Amino acid sequence: MADVNLSIDLISNVSEKLTHRVRKFGFGDGYEQVAVDGVNSRITQYEITTRPLESTNAVVMQTALDKAAVGDFLLIKLKPFNYTDRRYRLANNGYTRSFLKGPSDNAFITTDGSAYVVFQFTLVEAYAG
């Protein structure tokens, strides 16, 4: 799979969710055995909302997300997290687009006749070499 660069400076809101993949085996008396499942058992997810994008940036964002939805990695330098390159996949292979009202009186229209778009998606850190 290929790497798709994604500009993280378009982000408005980010929330991080950490979980650990474990194996559990429960007994009838309520006792449970828990063990780490694999080498990379820590799962990091980022729920991201972009700032309102005009048509040019929206097309670039949609192209990158479409490529990631079908298997490519998103290669991102997350600014709040030490600028290190990391690879991510889209959770559930999808994203949401919302169309916003522009500065003119016409709903959803920018000054160049296009719509403002906000993208919402969840990234899952991928461990790939």
User: Domain boundaries in the chain?
Assistant: 3-22+32-125
Which backbone phi and psi does 40 adopt, to 5 degrees?
-100, 75
Adjacent-strand bridge partners of 123 = 46, 90
Helix (H) or strand (E) holding 31, with range, is: none
| 65 contacts 119 by C-beta, under 8 angstroms | yes
CATH of 3-22+32-125, one of 1.20.120, 3.30.450, 3.30.200, 3.10.20: 3.30.200
Mean pLDDT by 10 residues, the chain (129 residues): 67 83 89 88 87 84 89 75 73 90 57 76 78
pTM for this model (two decimals): 0.73
Q: What is the DSSP letter of 116?
A: E
| 69 contacts 90 by C-beta, under 8 angstroms | yes
Whole-number pLDDT of residue 52: 85
